[in-house]
Amino acid sequence: MHFAVLAKNTIAAWLLPPGLFLLLIAVGLALLSRKPRLGKGIITSSLITLTLLSMPIVANALLRLIEPPALTSIPKDVVALVCLGGGKRFAAYDQIEGETINNATLTRLRYTAQLAKQSQLPILVSGGKPLGGISEAELMAKILINEFNTPVRWIENNSVDTQENAEFSAQLLPKGAKILLVTQAVHTPRAKIAFERAGFKVAIAPTDYANQEPFSILSLMPKSSALINSSFALHELLGMLWYKFRFNA
């Protein structure tokens, strides 16, 4: 495992739910004997917040808070489509390699293939192997070619995070090029910042927007999937804050 990936994920584990609230509850329990009022307050507020973040209505609201509008037309001055990897599965027992892309990456590839067929733009896929195995970019290229019948011109397979996606892609494409960036809608604002910092002009093509089912009583019931979505949204907000601090420092 890449050290930077281990460090970032360890920090994120305790700054985002559920790890953050488990830590706060532990602090609250430790305070009960000495400062029972404070301890109970920390435990209660942590449980309430964790419950709220587990509700689909809250999770979807957080996702939509940072999702940009969808692409309406492809700019004429774009020179390449850049699709970012969103992770892979190791236990892909139904695949010869034993590994394959996850659902988030598959959604991005489908949209990339659609855009490529509309625009005839060349494609760059970006994604390394932070946890080992086959790089995401290699798996992405294979699926675009074999399953979507869409050629891939560039394969960036060394990056381990969004910032490296941008920096290593800049080594393959013309300096100052305008790209059409494909990634998850909630991930788009942070990815756009990273690619602009790497010297690109960026048009965005967000996909996989937050689910917007009609409101029902189920929207208020805690679900593990909703907690995952809340954590994802908070991760992106935290990442944008970090970028702002890092790049403006």
Question: Is the predicted pLDDT of residue 217 greater than 60, yes or no?
Answer: yes
Q: How far apart are CA 56 and CA 191, in angstroms?
A: 25
How far apart CA 91 and CA 96 sit, in angstroms, is 11
Average pLDDT over residues 171-196: 97
43 in Cβ contact with 28 (< 8 Å): yes
Q: Where are the domains of the chain?
A: 3-66+220-248, 80-207
List pLDDT tens digits, range 30-70: 999 999 999 999 999 999 999 999 999 999 999 999 999 99
Average pLDDT, the chain: 94
Mean pLDDT value of segment 174-194: 97
Class of domain 80-207: alpha beta
pLDDT at 212: 79
**pLDDT exceeds cutoff 80 at 155:** yes
Residues 133, 202: Cα–Cα separation, whole Å: 30
For residue 221, which phi and psi values (nearest 5 degrees)?
-95, 130
DSSP calls for 156-176: E----SHHHHHHHHTTTS-TT
CB 127 within 8 A of CB 104: no
Share of residues in the chain with pLDDT > 90 (%): 88
Q: What is the pLDDT of residue 121?
A: 98
Q: What is the pLDDT of residue 216?
A: 94
- Say what the pLDDT of residue 9 is: 84
In tens, the pLDDT along 80-126 reads 999 999 999 999 999 999 999 999 999 999 999 999 999 999 999 99
Residue 169 to residue 3: CA distance in whole angstroms: 21
Q: Is the pTM of this model over 0.85?
A: yes
Per-residue pLDDT at 206: 98
DSSP states along the chain? --HHHHHHHHHHHHHSTTHHHHHHHHHHHHHTTT-HHHHHHHHHHHHHHHHHHTSHHHHHHHHHHHPPPPP-S--TT--EEEEE---EES--TTSTTS-EE-HHHHHHHHHHHHHHHHH---EEEE---TTSSS-HHHHHHHHHHHTS-----EEE----SHHHHHHHHTTTS-TT-EEEEEEEGGGHHHHHHHHHHTT-EEEEEEESPPP-PPP-GGGGS--HHHHHHHHHHHHHHHHHHHHHHHHH-
Does the pLDDT value for residue 228 go beyond 90?
yes
Between CA 86 and CA 184 the distance in angstroms is 8
Whether the pLDDT of residue 6 is over 90: the answer is no
| Residue 7 binned pLDDT confidence (cut-offs 50, 70, 90) | confident
Q: What band does 249 get if pLDDT is binned at 50, 70 and 90?
A: low
What integer pLDDT is reported at residue 8 of this predicted model? 83
What average pLDDT score do residues 175-189 get?
A: 97
Pair of tokens at residue 158 = 């060394």
- Both tokens of residue 178? 């305008």
